[in-house]
Structure 1
Amino acid sequence: MKNTALLVMDVQEGIVPRVPDADYLPRLARAVGGARDAGVPVIHVVIGFRPGHPEKSDRNKAFAALPPGAFTPDDPGAAVHADVAPRPGESIVTKKRVSAFAGSDLELVLRSGEIDHLVLTGIATSGVVLSTLRQAADLDYRLTVLADGCADVDPEVHRVLTEKVFPRQADVVTVDEWVKSLA
């Protein structure tokens, strides 16, 4: 899949415990392994802040609620989860808001790699996946969402997004379907 990258978004030690599906990480690891085997770049997108959170605004309801020190370089919860940890040479993009593009150099990384097709995974479907999909669509990227490679604390919200909203702007498939398509 030339010009394609797999985005693994917000799959961090401090976020993964919120996922109610015990099979989520093994499924996501299959997607990451399939991408690596097929030579598809894996880009890890993480939420991260400087010590003291100078990027955080009290007007931002979601981020204002973060405890001091959360998702800073000293926070072990900021690390990419060990089950899908980056390998040498894989990009780690740090974002400052919900979308993978907000406050990050993701677009520069994608352009430099001549990537025009994004395969989206991550936590949460209603957060980083939705926001990134909307922005990427407006930037004219081709999009695929791995429905079971995304997770949300609310299964009904996940279902509505993956079955009704995302198909308007992306192909929506399962991890297994996507991995098979790489062969």
Structure 2
Amino acid sequence: MGNSALLVMDVQRDVVEIADGGSGYLRRVRSAIDGARAAGLPVIYVVIGFRPGRPDVSPHHKVLSAAVRDGLFTEGDPGTAIHPDVAPQDGDVVITKRRASAFSGSDLDLVLRVRGIDHLVLAGIATSGVVLYTLCQANDLDFGLTVLADACLDTDPEVHRTLTDRLFPRWADVLTVEDWRTALTPN
């Protein structure tokens, strides 16, 4: 798996409230985080956030314009914080992005390159948003990739299944959190 890092993306209070209907999602993400820590892998959190007044959101961007109209994702607002059930520990890096991909409008690539990370393990909300966009860009940047299917979540379960069953396997290893944790454990 190369020099790997776990990316926990957009698991923010407001996003979890919108997307998770009590599926046990946070428990699975917590298990992935615990597995990464036990294996000595860095856990890097990625959040979406916009400046107050939203000077970084174009009215031409349908999805982001709708989100900011609904009052979502202003930096410093409690709903924009990482969900406390999966909160970072001291020493974890938190990246703020300005668009769907974890790389867009952020210094993620710099943080990864400085640490010599060449393999990314992806978890996050939404499968059709941050996970898809980050996977595409990371693939183009020649990172090795693993997607933790059950540590990704989408408001549309069919879209989630289509992406994790049919599209993502073209570019990444797609595993459950349990199977990934088992692969991390030396025999």
TM-score with structure 2 setting the length = 0.95
Residues 71-104 of structure 1: CA deviation (Å, up to 9, x unaligned): 2233101100011100000000000000000000
Are the counterparts in 2 of residues 124 and 153 from structure 1 also a CA contact under 8 Å?
yes
Match of 1:24 in 2: 25
> Are residue 91 (structure 1) and residue 74 (structure 2) matched?
no
CA deviation after TM superposition for structure 1 residue 69, in Å: 5.1
Aligned to 2:83: 81
Residues matched between the structures, number: 183
Residue 39 (structure 1) aligns with: 40
Instruction: State the partner residue of 1:58.
Output: 59
The 3-state SS of whatever aligns with 2:23 is coil
Counterparts in 2 of 1:21 and 1:69: CA distance versus 1, 3 Å: closer
Q: Which is worse superposed, 59-68 or 156-165?
A: 59-68
- What residue is the counterpart of 1:110 in the other structure? 112
Counterpart-to-counterpart distance in 2, 1:126 and 1:68: 20
What amino acid is aligned across from residue 47 of structure 1 in structure 2?
I
Equivalent position amino acid for 2:7 in 1: L
Residue 21 of structure 1, CA deviation: 4.7
Partner of 1:169: 171
Structure 2: distance between partners of 1:61 and 1:11 = 21
Distance 1:50 1:68, change over 3 A: farther
**Paired letter, 2:34:** G
- C-alpha distance in structure 2 between counterparts of 1:156 and 1:64, whole Å: 25
- The residue identity in structure 1 corresponding to 2:33 is V
Match of 2:156 among 154, 157, 171: 154
What is the alpha-carbon distance in structure 1 between the residues aligned to residue 112 and residue 83 of structure 2? 23
The 3-state SS of whatever aligns with 1:6 is strand
Q: Which runs of 5+ in 1 are unaligned?
A: none
Question: Unaligned 5+ residue runs, structure 2?
Answer: none
CA contact (8 A) 2:131 2:152 kept: yes
Q: Tell me if structure 1 keeps the 8 A contact 2:2–2:144.
A: no
CA distance in 2, matches of 1:21, 1:176: 19
- Contact 1:52 1:69 survives alignment (8 Å): no
When normalised by structure 1's length, the TM-score is 0.97
**Which letter does structure 1 place at the counterpart of 2:10?**
D
What whole-Å deviation, never above 9, does each CA across 1:37-67 have from its counterpart, x for those lacking one? 1110000000011111110000000111123
- 1:132 aligned counterpart, secondary structure: helix
